[in-house]
Amino acid sequence: METAEAENCFVDANVLVYAAIGTDIRHSPSKNLLQDGYGLRLCVSPQVLSEFYSVITNAKRVTDPFTPTEATEFIRTLLGNQHVSPSRF
């Protein structure tokens, strides 16, 4: 039986931010996408991870910023499920 290869889907930093902020109305759909993938091969770039870190730890950009440790832990957890690409494909 032949299995179809998952389609690549590049994840933007906003999706990561929404998934990280539990009070955001986009939290559940974003978190579900990152956890389940819905048959897609989700990819992030180092630039997207850097942008996520910059936004999520900045009190001027989010209401309840993460500490550097919390942001790093979120990224570590994320990397267990995602493919890091050097650039958009």
Percentage of the chain exceeding pLDDT 70: 83
16: which DSSP letter? H
31: number of CA atoms within 13 Å, CB side?
11
| Mean local confidence (pLDDT), 56-75 | 94
Percentage of the chain exceeding pLDDT 90: 55
In angstroms, rounded to a whole number, what is the distance separating the alpha carbons of residues 88 and 3? Answer: 25
* Residue 39 banded pLDDT, cuts 50, 70, 90: confident
> What are the pLDDT digits (tens) for 18-36?
999 999 999 999 999 998 8
Which tokens in the block code for residue 45?
């770039």
What is the end-to-end Cα distance of the chain in Å, rounded?
29
In angstroms, rounded to a whole number, what is the distance separating the alpha carbons of residues 85 and 42? Answer: 10
Higher pLDDT among residues 53 and 41, named by residue: 53
For residue 8, the model assigns a pLDDT of 82
